[in-house]
Amino acid sequence: MIELQDAGFGYHEGAELLSNMTLSLQKGMFHFLTGPSGAGKTTLLRLLYADLLPTSGRVIAFGQDLRGLGRDDIAGLRRRVGVVHQDTQFLDHLPVAENVALPLTVSGHAVDMTALRDLLGWVQLGPQARALPPSLSGGERQRAALARAVILSPDLVLADEPTGNLDWDMSMRLMQLLIELNKSGKTVLVATHDLNLIRAAKAQVAARVLRIANGGLQLAGADL
Ligand SMILES: Nc1ncnc2c1ncn2[C@@H]1O[C@H](COP(=O)(O)OP(=O)(O)OP(=O)(O)O)[C@@H](O)[C@H]1O
Ligand SMILES: [Mg+2]
């Protein structure tokens, strides 16, 4: 569904942060992306949802080279990829339900209130539907961000450190939701530096673990 072909990226001319990356995100698979802070996990995710273009090699998304895509094609791609950002942002003056529905409303779609209620129930935010984002706990924010990321029924879900500031129990609850999404057929990629989280998840789902090391991408073995 998304492929990197010898792709590289650098924020500064002539200095690549990530080089020679070859990867194929396989449909229906659960992937982890790991590596130390500053290794380039967020950068790689941004390449996957066409927020950045590679400075070498190619990124092919749903059969199309990102480099050749126009604005409409990029918008189409973004609808197929749901993203939970590392620094989750909401419109603080709008209630949680409206924030979650935003990808629908900004693209001019009607909101199916029953589906929205079901989605909020799935992330256990029913009681917080009318709350404003600043009043949410860290775990509630992350669950709201996940609901917003899947409201357009994307094929692929990218989650960047979704358990970043959460305690272990809440981290596992969030992982459970991501595993459920995967079991319902979605391709999932979770970026995390937390190897314990990966180990715990691997007991429940067959996952491929990718690691960024020395500016390149490797497939990690079973020795996590
Ligand atoms: N917009 C930018 N301009 C210049 N350099 C950047 C930019 N964004 C990130 N970098 C640099 O690129 C490197 C990789 O950053 P990135 O955010 O991808 O790492 P990460 O693996 O996600 O780290 P963390 O685990 O802390 O989230 C860092 O050295 C960072 O300072
Ligand atoms: Mg990051």
Say which DSSP state 15 is in.
B
- In three-state secondary structure terms, 144 is helix
Who has greater pLDDT, 161 or 75? Answer: 161
Ligand 1 nearest-atom number relative to CA 37: 25
Domain locations in the chain as residue ranges: 1-80+174-224, 85-153
The answer to whether residues 21 and 4 touch, using CB atoms and an 8 Å cutoff, is yes
CA distance 194 to 199: 9
The pLDDT value given to residue 112? 95
The pLDDT value given to residue 107? 87
Cα separation values, 89 from 128, 160, 198, 204, Å: 17, 13, 25, 30
**Sheet containing 30-34, strands listed edge to edge, beginning at the edge strand earlier in sequence:** 81-84, 156-160, 187-191, 30-34, 207-213, 216-219
For ligand 1, mutation pick of 9, 11, 158, 190 (most atoms within 8 Å of CB): 11
The pLDDT value given to residue 14? 85
Query: Cβ neighbours of residue 196 under 8 Å, at least 6 residues apart?
Result: none
- Is 43 a pocket residue for ligand 1 (Cβ < 6 Å)? yes
**Whole-model pTM?**
0.95
Chain segment 171-188, per-residue pLDDT in tens: 999 999 999 999 999 999
Check pLDDT > 90 for residue 199: yes
Average pLDDT over residues 175-203: 95
- In three-state secondary structure terms, 18 is strand
The owner of tokens 């009681």 is 127
Residues forming a β-bridge with 23: 4
Assigned CATH for 1-80+174-224: 3.40.50.300
Number of neighbouring beta carbons within 10 Å of residue 103 = 18
The pLDDT value given to residue 224? 66
